[in-house]
Amino acid sequence: MKKTSYAKTGAIIGGLGNAFLNLMKQLNEMDQDPNQKFKWGEFLASAGKGAAIGGLAGFGIGAIRDYQNSLEKPIDLNAHLFGLSGLLMLDKSDPQFKSLEKAANKICSEFTKEFKDKVSGELIPHGSTEKGTALHDSYDIDIAVPFYPKSFPNNEEMYDEVYRFFKKRIGVLDIIDVRKQKRSIGVYVVVGDLESWIDFAPYKLSRENSSSGYLFVNKKGFLVDNSTIQKTDLTKLKKNKFSDVQKQIIVLLKDWKLRNDLPLPSHFIEYLVKDAYQKNKGRIPRSIEKKMIMVLKHIANRLHIIYIKGNENTNNVISNSIDEFDKQVIIDACSKAIEEYEYQPNTLTKIFK
């Protein structure tokens, strides 16, 4: 109830404010009359009086808020969340996405021709666009590139060779920029009015007829090179399936974190939703409204102790990718959303809008 918290806040502000005014008054009087002593009783009495007045005022304002809140008519929150998620989610039949997909296929075709003796099978699309968890206005295309075990002397040479291939093609195939990233090569393309990244992640298979291998992890600094390799099986990422409702929750949370500038990686949101469902197995609520609150509470209550490993590599602890400070920022945001919802459920339309 707002009246209780407002009363406490009002009492603190009123008490401190009135005490400060009395302090200034007495100091001014003492300045005019050096023989006058500070009157602690008067000071404390003024603080108490201010607290009483401030508390009553806060209680009154809070009571009005509570009454207004009680008059607010319930909104169909399930319809709101379903409708909003539909607007936010990428539609793969969208002409712009189809154009980008076509451009990506042309690049992949050219890439495969160049490395036909080194690429093991087909390139593997993965990521949010493949899982149905991409936002319609914020996405890229992720492609895994599996090379034969003996295709390159080492993983760094593999990584650099892929980078050089794309670098040479700036200005053709709709490519306007190329950059080295931590585990992939980012290829920036412009197709019509759409600008987007296509991320190619090259990895060298451990052995023939295997889907697992090693990525090159680019950690080159100005003075120090801490680059290494990381075991992975990117084909397993495609097995990370979500239900339709889970996809809707993920998309809503991705948009929420972008609007609130939260340091929460998009791929981590997917793992957190899965983990929330697993930890609440047997007591999953029926409505998307309650499921969303379940996920928010799971993050708020467990993010600081959660331990989640990547599907593609069990040695990759996803939960360690966020430091403690950022975790607290995320926890506070989730706690605030839950508090607002529990006071007035309709605020969910403002949290997710």
pLDDT at 58: 64
pLDDT in tens, 102-158: 999 999 999 999 999 999 988 999 889 999 999 998 899 999 999 999 999 999 999
pLDDT at 83: 96
pLDDT in tens, 296-342: 999 999 999 998 887 777 677 888 889 999 999 999 999 999 999 98
pLDDT in tens, 124-138: 998 899 999 999 988
Instruction: Give dist(CA 180, CA 159) in Å, integer.
Output: 9
pLDDT at 208: 76
Q: Are 214 and 231 in contact (CB under 8 A)?
A: yes
Domains 90-239 and 242-351 share a fold: no
pLDDT in tens, 16-44: 777 678 778 777 877 787 778 877 877 77
Q: Where are the domains of the chain?
A: 2-71, 90-239, 242-351
- Which range among 12-26, 64-78, 177-191, 215-229 has the greatest average pLDDT? 177-191
Q: Are 56 and 328 in contact (CB under 8 A)?
A: no
CATH classification code of 242-351: 1.10.1410
- Distances in Å between the Cα of 317 and the Cα atoms of 212, 308, 310, 320 are 18, 6, 6, 6
What stretch of H or E contains 195? Answer: strand 194-205
pLDDT in tens, 246-256: 999 999 999 99
The DSSP result for 38-93, as a single string, is: P-HHHHHHHHHHHHHHHHHHHHHHHHHHHHHHHHSPPP-HHHHHHHHHHHHB--TT
User: What percentage of the chain exceeds 90 in pLDDT?
Assistant: 61
Instruction: Give dist(CA 141, CA 124) in Å, integer.
Output: 11
Residues 208-217: contacts with CB under 8 Å, at least 24 apart:
208/148, 208/149, 211/146, 211/235, 211/236, 213/146, 213/147, 213/149, 214/155, 215/155, 215/183, 216/155, 216/156, 216/158, 216/159, 216/183, 217/182, 217/183
CATH classification code of 90-239: 3.30.460.10
